[in-house]
Amino acid sequence: MVKAIIDIDEKANRVINIVKAKENLNDKSEAINLIIEFYEQEVMEPGLRPEFVKELLAAQKEKTVKVNDFESRYG
């Protein structure tokens, strides 16, 4: 675990305290981690997420099927 000393403004501190209270968390560190997890899942581009890269690598290994006429094959 990494420890960090950070400077935040009063508004950010209030938001962290609200998240902490709303989610019934033990401390501000848990609230910050929750906010970061949300940001990663909802905001970051999928290409930047490690699990997205794993999915792409797995898809590259899948067997492919050659289709001459897509409409006749899949309707």
Between 28 and 56, name the one with better pLDDT: 28
- pTM, two decimals, is 0.59
Q: pLDDT digit string (tens) for 1-28?
A: 889 999 999 999 999 999 999 999 999 9
Between 47 and 35, name the one with better pLDDT: 35
Residue 35's closest CA among 20, 50, 46? 20
Share of the chain above pLDDT 90, in %: 51
Element (H, E) at 2: none
Angle between helices 28-42 and 10-22 (to 10 degrees): 90
Q: For the chain, which residues make up each domain, given as ranges?
A: 10-74
Q: Which residues fall within 8 angstroms of residue 31, CB to CB, at 6 or more apart?
A: 16, 17, 19, 20, 23, 25
